[in-house]
Chains A and B, each alone.
Chain A
Amino acid sequence: MADHAAVPEGHHGEDVHHASFWRKYIFSTDHKVIGIQYGITALLFLLFGFSLVMLLRWQLAYPGEPVPLIGWLFTDDTMPGGIMLPEFYNQLGAMHGTIMVFLGIVPLAVGAFGNYIVPLQIGAPDMAFPKLNMASYWVFVVGGLVMLGSFFVPAGAAKAGWTSYAPLSVIESMGQTMWLIGMVFLITSSLLGAVNFLTTIVQLRAEGMTFMRMPFFVWAQFITSFLLLLAFPPLEAASILQLSDRLLDTSFFMPSGLVVSGEVVDVAGGGSPLLWQHLFWFLAHPEVYVLVLPAMGIVAEIIANNSRKPLRGYKVMVYSLIFLGFMSFIVWAHHMFITGMGQVMSVFFQTTTMIISIPSVIILTALFLSLWGGSIRFTTPMLFALGFLPMFGIGGLTGLPLGLAPTDIPLHDTYYVIGHFHYVVAPGTILALMAGIYYWFPKMTGRTMNDTLGKIHFWGTIVSMNFIFFPMLIQGMAGVSRRLYDGGEIYAHAQDVIVYNEVMSIASWVLFVFQIPFIVNLLISMKKGKKATENHWDATTLEWTAAPSPPVGHGNFHDLPEVYRDPYEYSHPDHDEDYWPQNAPPAEASED
């Protein structure tokens, strides 16, 4: 590895050394800097979105009681005397969903990891369009600022839920307009990103890096980018239509004779609220896979590396991924079984939904089987990756009753849906993203994160997450609606399960406490962490074997690497070491 570490300064470092601070760290076109920018911004948004819901959970656990310690910080339009108003509760709920999905997880999973790792793993000097990459990040920042700014407009941020269902969203206050404008920016950003990722993966693979030699993580990003490219524009169309309903008084989503507060709304009418739901879910179902596929990619990398054997059924996993991506475009209306769209539609969409569960199960099973007979190293990233498997399993299995119309109807809009979705995305995707941070931190900084703090973080996180989300499934089965400002206090049928509200809320605050070791670990390890070796995890993929940690300057590699074998040649019988780098020439092996 030593020869790779010696990147001559003058060759690649040149443009970097002469670049100003602004070009180097702020408006950089280097995919590594942009990846880290995305990562930091997304982590801050995740923390912010989490804070919103911690506040909201106080109201659910102790309805009508003033929030202690921080209640006085809020204005009289949100929490007079520290007691949360229903309007503010709705803002918190809508913005929690929006921020976590569009400003937290997608930018972290795709913007940060995709940007930093994909070019390194395929042996490319940078993304295909570096300037577009920079534009993508800054458009994302503008979208995020518009979303944050919406809290400060009259009557506050959007209150119509993260799904912005019409006609409620159309008659909402100004915050909704900000939401739509912010959304157009975020969609534009991910569009620029998706074009860039796809072009990079198709065009800039190193010599010998055929499609079937690409690490599974790259495949996951490839399919994810297709989903971003093709599923987001219909939401952009829907946002344009809703903006026009709000600003030009058109009636795309406004039915005739709609009565609000006892008065018929003065619009032309003739529109359809269902149209919004179709356009929204056409985006938002593939969006679920945008959240999940990169997580699967990260977990696959870490499991292969830490079980010291190749992924079981790599090819089947790749084909499943492609099939999953395709199917995700024709399942959207399983979110709409109770809208009365008709039985034929319901039957079609519940069939496709059952079919799409097959490739997900194949991938998950392949990951489980990859552990079989491996010599597993229980490193911190591996713990998180192993945690992902059962958690995502619960998330997926609890989704099956929601995919079938007869069982979905009683469960629709209850806490069961919230529990299911969060099992997929929080203990599922977020654990995988944490795994990715611990795994690639040595790559990005040249230092390792503390193992003890990492293990405290892992156990605290996975236990408290289950205390938050499992009771939701129980409450939902009892029929508690997801939209109650008082957590179900005044409903007779909720009385048996209402005690869980306090459990879930306390667990959510405990979850926050267990993020502190992570934050401390991240900040301190950047400067003071133990020095990592070049190929810290004895990995086979190019980002570890062909470039130093951290990669020097703009351009990544001294000479573009050449690839000779499959991505996960661990414990190969023909090779002495238990890992065989993708770029190690065959001749070298015979000399050993």
Chain B
Amino acid sequence: MQIPFTVAPRPDTGVNNAKIGVWLFLASEVMLFGGLFSAYIFLRIGAPEWPGEIGGHMYERASDILNVPLATLNTLILIGSSVTMVMSWASLAMKRFDRYRLYMGATIALGFAFLIVKAFEYGEKFSHGYLPAENNFLAIYFVLTGLHGLHVIGGIIVNMYFMWPGARMWKTDPKRFTNRIEIAGLYWHFVDLVWIFLFPTIYLL
């Protein structure tokens, strides 16, 4: 049995199944992060001070608690990884599998770099006793960045699958494999986009 339109687009809708599927999935992800961002707004409006008191000290600005330079570095890392992700797909479209390997490897490496920087940031917070239970600013910071971090880990796992075991499909069905990289790319760009909203909201505002 063959499911129609797994690779070729359906003429009247103009897309294939996976493309619609991933866009719908991303719509639900928007609602998930949208719910958390709404919670952030709700809590912040209700709070007399923001970020407020942590361990007996009153903070006026989020940047006094969080490490803005490190987060800026992470923003650049993620944007860079989105670029390499596009290049890996473009390489497949140009039938250059060797270059695909190179760019996909770079995307994975940048993903790990993001997580390492994030781990440093978390470590710094923990060592100062800035724990989620301390106040609601830290709580929403940890939940939002933590959930985003889980999405990054998920993306790295998907990319690693397509880097190694999943790449066998290039030999049997190159067109479908190229599509798969495009789909994985859409997800990866979404994770990047969430960070681009998250960074100013939490670190700068």
Contacts and interface: CB of A to CB of B under 8 A. Distances in A.
Do A and B truly interact? yes
Interface of A: 12, 15, 124-126, 128-130, 191, 194-196, 198-199, 202-204, 229-238, 240-241, 244, 248-252, 267-268, 270-272, 275, 278-279, 282, 554-555, 560
A126 B1 contact: yes
B1 A129 contact: no
B29 A233 contact: yes
A233 B147 CA distance: 13
A238 B3 contact: no
Contacts of A244: 132, 139, 142-143
A449 to B, nearest CB: 30
Given A268-B133, A555-B1, 16 more contacts: A195-B25, A196-B21, A198-B24, A199-B17, A230-B31, A231-B31, A234-B34, A237-B36, A237-B39, A244-B143, A248-B132, A248-B142, A249-B132, A250-B136, A251-B133, A275-B39
A292 to B, nearest CB: 21
Nearest to A206: B4
14 contacts: A129-B21, A195-B24, A199-B20, A202-B20, A203-B4, A240-B147, A248-B131, A249-B133, A250-B133, A251-B133, A268-B136, A270-B135, A270-B136, A279-B38
Contacts of A129: 17, 21
A130 B21 CA distance: 13
Nearest to A16: B1
B27 interface: yes
A555 B139 CA distance: 50
A270 to B, nearest CB: 5
B132 A279 contact: no
Contacts of A237: 32-33, 35-36, 39
Contacts of B60: none
Give the interface residue-count category, chain B.
35 or more
Contacts of B139: 244, 248, 250-252, 268
B190 to A, nearest CB: 13
A240 B140 CA distance: 11
Which 10 residue pairs of A and B lie closest in terms of their CB atoms, listed nearest first? A237-B35, A234-B35, A250-B139, A233-B32, A555-B1, A249-B133, A233-B31, A128-B17, A195-B24, A248-B132
B27 A204 contact: no
Contact of A272 (B5, B42, B143): B42
Majority secondary structure, B binding face? helix
B51 to A, nearest CB: 11
A188 to B, nearest CB: 10
Highest count of chain B CB atoms <10 Å: which of A195, A238, A267: A195
Contacts of B147: 240
B45 to A, nearest CB: 10
A194 B20 CA distance: 12
B63 interface: no
A275 B35 CA distance: 10
B49 to A, nearest CB: 9
B127 interface: no
B47 A270 contact: yes
B56 interface: no
B35 A282 contact: yes
Given A199-B24, A233-B31, A279-B39, A267 B1 contact: no
Interface in B50-84: 52
- Interface-central residue, B16, B31, B32, by most chain A CB under 10 Å: B31
A125 B4 contact: yes
B1 A233 contact: no
A241 B40 CA distance: 11
Contacts of A248: 131-133, 139, 142
B13 interface: yes
Contacts of B20: 198-199, 202-203
A18 to B, nearest CB: 13
Given A230-B31, A244-B132, A126 B3 contact: yes
Contact of A199 (B21, B33, B131, B140): B21
B43 interface: yes
B3 A272 contact: no
B35 A267 contact: no
A128 B21 CA distance: 9
B134 interface: yes
A519 to B, nearest CB: 34
A268 B27 contact: no
B172 interface: no
B47 to A, nearest CB: 6
Interface string B144-157: 00010000000000
